[in-house]
Amino acid sequence: MLFFGCAVMQQFYPQSQKTILFLIIITLAVSIVCIHEERSLHRSWYGLLLITTSVSGVFSFLEGYILSIVTLTALTMFLFSHIYSALRQVMQAKTVTPNHIIGSICIYLLLGFAWSTIYLLILEIFPNALCGLQEQFWLTNLFNAMYFSFITLTTVGYGDISPALPVAQFFAFMGSIIGSFYLAIMVASLVSIWLAQSHSD
């Protein structure tokens, strides 16, 4: 829903950055509420990152550069923390259930979203890092960054957006490597768990 919402906003309301930021904050808040009560440390960590993202994101409308970097850094850390937690749950599973399959898909989507925040962070520091993206507020570039991230993650690469600096090129090829290896490893893992489960039955 977040990805679709960003696409709709980009298509019909290109200047609606506040709405996109609101959608991101709501999505992150829901994910924190869903954390089990006994994982208070995880909830506190995610809550801190969410507060940082919210406060710096709101104020970055007034004061661009530094707060945008703080927002994107906190958001990137939040996403990778969730990826790590979800990956542990999926990889430690003893049986294959629909929840684990959905979890595997969510991890892949989170990887693409996390990589898009990395690209946006690079753009804040090096405005000419990606050919095809204009130098503007990061929320305005969010959907285009997600588009480039998933196109790179799936190794499609249309060429309309391309990395122009070494740091952007590094994260681009790392994204394609991780995307390819994730699919191969995750499919092999789920198949092996399913085979072990069927033999035990």
Provide mean pLDDT across the span 167-191.
Answer: 88
Question: Does 66 have pLDDT greater than 50?
Answer: yes
Question: Does 194 have pLDDT greater than 50?
Answer: yes
pLDDT (0 to 100) of residue 190: 78
**What 8-state DSSP symbol labels residue 185?**
H
What is the C-alpha to C-alpha distance for residues 66 and 110, in angstroms, rounded to an integer?
Answer: 25
Using pLDDT thresholds of 50, 70 and 90, give the confidence band for residue 49.
low
pLDDT (0 to 100) of residue 13: 65
Using pLDDT thresholds of 50, 70 and 90, give the confidence band for residue 46.
low
pLDDT (0 to 100) of residue 38: 47
Structural element, H or E, at residue 131: strand 130-131
What is the C-alpha to C-alpha distance for residues 49 and 160, in angstroms, rounded to an integer?
Answer: 33
Report the alpha-carbon angle 149-79-17, nearest 5: 65
What is the C-alpha to C-alpha distance for residues 161 and 170, in angstroms, rounded to an integer?
Answer: 15
**Cβ neighbours, 10 Å, residue 189:** 16
Q: How far is CA 101 from the centre of its chain?
A: 18
Report the alpha-carbon angle 75-18-24, nearest 5: 35
Lookup: tokens for 119: 């690209």
**Cβ neighbours, 10 Å, residue 57:** 25
What is the C-alpha to C-alpha distance for residues 60 and 84, in angstroms, rounded to an integer?
Answer: 28
- Domains of the chain, start order: 2-200 (1.10.287.70)
Question: Does 42 have pLDDT greater than 60?
Answer: no
Question: Does 163 have pLDDT greater than 80?
Answer: yes
Question: Does 197 have pLDDT greater than 60?
Answer: yes
Rg of the chain (C-alpha set) = 18
Provide mean pLDDT across the span 1-5.
Answer: 64
Its pTM stands at 0.78
Provide mean pLDDT across the span 178-190.
Answer: 85
Provide mean pLDDT across the span 84-94.
Answer: 79
Which residue would you say has higher pLDDT here, 90 or 162?
162
Using pLDDT thresholds of 50, 70 and 90, give the confidence band for residue 56.
low
Could you tell me where the DSSP H helices lie in 14-61? 17-33, 40-59
Lookup: tokens for 190: 């789920």
Contact assessment for residue 70 and residue 49, using Cβ atoms and an 8 Å cutoff = no
**Mean of pLDDT over the chain:** 76
Q: Express each pLDDT in 10-38 by its tens digit.
A: 666 656 556 666 666 666 666 555 544 44
Which residue would you say has higher pLDDT here, 98 or 177?
177
pLDDT (0 to 100) of residue 157: 75
**159 backbone φψ class: left, alpha, beta (φ>0; ψ -120 to 50):** left
